[in-house]
Amino acid sequence: MPYPDQDFLLHSPTARRLFHEVADGLPIYDYHCHLDPAEIASNRRWDNLADIWLGGDHYKWRLLRANGVDERYVTGDGTPEEKFQAWAATVPKSLRNPIHHWCHIELQRYFDIDLLISPETADEIWARANERLADEDFCAHGILKKFDVRMVGTTDDPVDPLDTHLNIASSDLETRVRPTFRPDKAFCVDQPTAFNAWIDRLEAISNTDISQLGDLLTALRRRHDEFHEAGCRLSDHGLENLPAEGCDDANAAIIFEKARGGKAATAEDRARFTLYLMLFLGRLDAARGWTKQLHLGAARNVNPKGFESIGPDAGYDNIGDYRQAPGIIAYLGALAAEESLPKVILYNLNPADNYLFATLAGSFQDGSVAGKIQFGSGWWFLDQKEGMEMQLNALSATGLLSRFVGMLTDSRSFLSYPRHEYFRRIVCNLIGSEADRGELPDDFELLAELVRAICSGNAEKHFGGH
């Protein structure tokens, strides 16, 4: 019997029926990911299995290091085959980690291989997968078509040129690839060297001289407009937490001008400046009808030696322990008071905040749009079975699961689309098992309607149009 089998994670008759008859094969709206739009535009192909499976995947890098693998075979100069052999020796040690599930599902869905990954099967897997990679349809566009990915939301800095997105939009690719406006570097007034290098790039791409705060706001507004014209409908921010106290125009101008002059802001001034800019950006999003994503709670680059030697996004990040409620309340409350609250998705990284985020979403619904404020899916360290179930349970207990926009990959890899299948199996099991226990109505079409909505339909309505 293959592992995972066709009824993987489906533990009741109705769960199995919901997945196989309803969820399986629904189109995917992957509204937040970190795919490189240039790889989509060029219809990228891959040289070998290590290239597509291990390159840039810090989830796997963390497990390799935990298994005692030398960095040479993680991010170093080991050969692709040596890196794959190290990975094949690590997978059997990863039982109960979600990557054990994901990797075997990926082998089945992409390569038609149902072998257990191990040192003994590594050579066969390597050969068969590399042979499949040579097929004409094994390319970026082929993968998007195979998994019926209707929409992809990449993650883009305002200083990034949009030519690649415009080229994709004018191509024959059926998947809609939308940029996402993520201006996190605009807040770094406590790091004037990096901040000013970023401002210089913003000057160039927005054709704006930026010496005063008003110039910065003008440049950001111009880029926001240009992103909208390029199809952008989402913004995103990755913050430890939202500050609870902001500042007025005059104080924000002072903080900006000092940083522009090379003087680092204090931590307190950075926080005030961040909230000031976040309110400005929230108004822009509301005016354009965008959805604002708030990814809160990551402690990034916690290993100084690892960060110094390899850089960011290399597996040295952590769940943070930050106070979240005051800042979110202040931020959403201020925008709501101005009638400038956009659609928002709140993602937490600390599971201790599940019910906090779920209830905060409920407190700022205003009846204008169903599901206007969303408690986002399990993110990063929480996008696994337990994390997803905790998020689904908190949302169900405090709000409307039926209005949830569902899963996203948050991935840099084209091999991550089975995460949507993983999520859908978990959803079908949760709903189907409760129905079979009499905790939900014995009405298959009612249950099927719910599954369709949260696996695909709500995301299509929220992100797939205009």
Looking at residue 465, its pLDDT comes to 56
* Residue 47, helix vs strand vs coil: coil
Using alpha carbons only, what angle is made at residue 395 by residues 390 and 400, rounded to the nearest 5 degrees? Answer: 150
| Beta strands per DSSP E along 276-423 | 291-296, 298-299, 318-319, 343-348, 373-375
- Domain spanning 140-463, CATH architecture: Alpha-Beta Barrel (3.20)
Residues 346 and 376: their CA atoms lie apart, in Å, by: 5
Using alpha carbons only, what angle is made at residue 209 by residues 205 and 213, rounded to the nearest 5 degrees? Answer: 105
Buried b (16+ CB within 10 A) or exposed e, 22-51: bbeebbbbbbbbbbbbebbbeebbbebbbb
| Beta strands per DSSP E along 272-342 | 291-296, 298-299, 318-319
Give the model confidence (pLDDT) of 211-236 as tens digits.
999 999 999 999 999 999 999 999 99
Give the model confidence (pLDDT) of 416-445 as tens digits.
999 999 999 999 999 999 999 999 999 999
| Peptide bond connecting 92 to the previous residue in cis, omega within 30 degrees of 0 | no
Check: CB of residue 374 under 8 Å from CB of residue 361. Answer: yes
Looking at residue 1, its pLDDT comes to 82
Helix axis angle, 192-206 relative to 249-260, nearest 10°? 100
From the candidate CATH numbers 1.10.2020.10, 3.30.230.10, 3.30.1120.10, 3.40.50.11540, the one assigned to the domain spanning 48-133: 1.10.2020.10
Task: Return the domain boundaries, the chain.
Answer: 48-133, 140-463
Q: Which helix (H) or strand (E) holds 87?
A: helix 80-90
Report yes or no on whether pTM surpasses 0.85. Answer: yes
Give the model confidence (pLDDT) of 333-376 as tens digits.
999 999 999 999 999 999 999 999 999 999 999 999 999 999 99
Per-position pLDDT tens, the chain of length 466: 899 999 999 999 999 999 999 999 999 999 999 999 999 999 999 999 999 999 989 999 999 999 999 999 999 999 999 999 999 999 999 999 999 999 999 999 999 999 999 999 999 999 999 999 999 999 999 999 999 999 999 999 999 999 999 999 999 999 999 999 999 999 999 999 999 999 999 999 999 999 999 999 999 999 999 999 999 999 999 999 999 999 999 999 999 999 999 999 999 999 999 999 999 999 999 999 999 999 999 999 999 999 888 988 889 999 999 999 999 999 999 999 999 999 999 999 999 999 999 999 999 999 999 999 999 999 999 999 999 999 999 999 999 999 999 999 999 999 999 999 999 999 999 999 999 999 999 999 999 999 999 999 999 999 865 4
What does DSSP assign to residue 456? I
